[in-house]
Amino acid sequence: MSPTLQVVVAPDSFKGSATAVEVAEAIGGGWREARPGDTVVLTPMADGGEGTIEALALAIPGSKRMPITVTGPAGEPVEAEWLLVPGEESIGTTGVVELANTSGITLLSTLRPMDAQTNGFGEAIVKALDHGVERLLLAIGGSASTDGGVGALTALGARFLDAEGDPIRPGGGGLAGLVSVDFSGFRDLPEGGAQIITDVTNPLLAAEGAAAVFGPQKGADVHQVAELDRSLAAFARIVGEAAQTTRPRSAAHLADPEAPGAGAAGGTGFGLALWGAIIRSGAETVADAVGLERQISEADVVITGEGRFDSQSAAGKVPSFVVGLARKHETFPLLVAGSIGADPEDFAASVSLSELAGSSEAAMENPLPFLWAAGRALANGGAKTSGGEGA
């Protein structure tokens, strides 16, 4: 290595263990200890899940956290926030709203697969709209529910009615009673539009859909998964029919249940597309917002990571996106992960916290010292190369 290096540290959070900010600070600290003459730039990342607001608030000067109280996934009030990002020459103010802190699974003490709702997420979007933001970034990872985003859309002015013309019950279980929808009360999108940011590429329905893949993680048994999938299919059919008669400003006719990401957050990706929001890669959108590509283009080394690096990491996750930018700009890519379950062949070297700690349990219980040690090991060349030998 050269006498001094420019190093970018751009990890995702280690879910359930450490935030992206904590991960970046620990890795960066370990590197600085080993090589105090290097310049280390911390750019914590996110892919649309928990920690998106935190990463953007740290990276974008002038960002302001906006505290709010909304309806949580169990129907009880929860304290949450959205992020106000200042405007630039070509883009006005942006509101970043995170489903994880308004309607997320970590807000539940007990899983509620049939009646957890996304109403609070929609209420937070309304708060941002009322504030006058000109663009929305909607981070939808970490959902507690499989309601197709109906709760959020209800907060935005849509009506979902049963056979008696009354609102259906909250949550995915309530979709079974859906007979008609009314989009006439939809709030307008902000002038700059709304982008849905997610790392999930699943469609809405069937074997790879929202209920089948993610329902069990939210507490659904095999019978409930089947019921939720049937209800989501009926939901997609009913809103498709309603789109034929709704007023032109509704984008319901553009929502495709087979589109990649439609099944994200229990179908909230599809639901927000009904409103007119556009689905984008979470890692790409966050990277654009924090200027990651420019930082990597100017760096000698970039370190990224996540809690578990496995075969799914190549499907839009933060490490795969970062290593793509590193390859483009001929920057040296390094990986730190809680555990490594697939060959990190695209990285010059890697460190597994589980190996450092002796077990996954030990690494998860107290990750920060091991993250520090990982940063120090990478700086000293004491990591594994993609071929498995010590660097």
pLDDT, tens only, 222-247: 999 999 999 999 999 999 887 766 64
**CA-to-CA distance for 126 and 110, rounded, in angstroms?**
27
**320 close to 362: Cβ distance less than 8 angstroms:** no
Q: What DSSP state is assigned to residue 208?
A: G
**CA-to-CA distance for 302 and 233, rounded, in angstroms?**
43
Closest by CA to 141, choosing from 54, 75, 199, 195, is: 199
Give the pLDDT mean for 103-117: 97
Higher pLDDT, 25 or 391: 25
**94 close to 85: Cβ distance less than 8 angstroms:** yes
Please tell me whether residue 336 adopts helix, strand or coil conformation.
Answer: strand
Give the pLDDT mean for 314-326: 85
Higher pLDDT, 309 or 386: 309
Closest by CA to 352, choosing from 310, 320, 315, is: 310
Give tens-digit pLDDT for 11-60.
999 887 899 999 999 999 999 999 999 999 999 999 888 889 998 998 88
Tokens 């600070």, residue located: 25
**CA-to-CA distance for 176 and 193, rounded, in angstroms?**
31
Q: What is the pLDDT of residue 240?
A: 85
Please tell me whether residue 224 adopts helix, strand or coil conformation.
Answer: helix
Q: What is the pLDDT of residue 390?
A: 40
Q: Describe the strand order of the beta sheet including 349-352 as a list of residue ranges.
A: 39-42, 6-9, 301-309, 332-340, 349-352, 384-385
This prediction's pTM: 0.87
**CA-to-CA distance for 268 and 45, rounded, in angstroms?**
22
Q: What is the pLDDT of residue 267?
A: 98
Residue partners of 268: CB distance under 8 A and separation at least 6 = 99, 118, 121, 140, 143, 147, 148, 149, 152
The token duo for 258 is 């087979």
Residue 250 has pLDDT above 60, yes or no: no
CA 346 to chain centre: 23
**CA-to-CA distance for 375 and 388, rounded, in angstroms?**
18
Residue partners of 43: CB distance under 8 A and separation at least 6 = 8, 9, 10, 24, 59, 290, 292, 295
Distances from the Cα of 367 to the Cα of 14, 109, 221, 279, 355, angstroms: 9, 24, 32, 33, 12
**239 close to 252: Cβ distance less than 8 angstroms:** yes
Q: What is the pLDDT of residue 5?
A: 95
- 10 Å CB burial of residue 334 (0-12, 13-18, 19+) is buried
Q: What is the pLDDT of residue 391?
A: 39
Q: What is the pLDDT of residue 281?
A: 87
Assign 315 a pLDDT band (cuts: 50, 70, 90). Answer: low
**305 close to 340: Cβ distance less than 8 angstroms:** no
The token duo for 344 is 């990190």
Domains of the chain: 6-43+293-385 (3.40.50.10350), 52-283 (3.90.1510.10)
Closest by CA to 116, choosing from 104, 131, 126, is: 104
Average pLDDT value over all residues in the chain: 91
Q: What is the 3-state secondary structure (H, E, C) of 79-105?
A: EEEEEEECCCCCCCCEEEEECHHHHEH
Assign 342 a pLDDT band (cuts: 50, 70, 90). Answer: confident
**CA-to-CA distance for 125 and 215, rounded, in angstroms?**
25
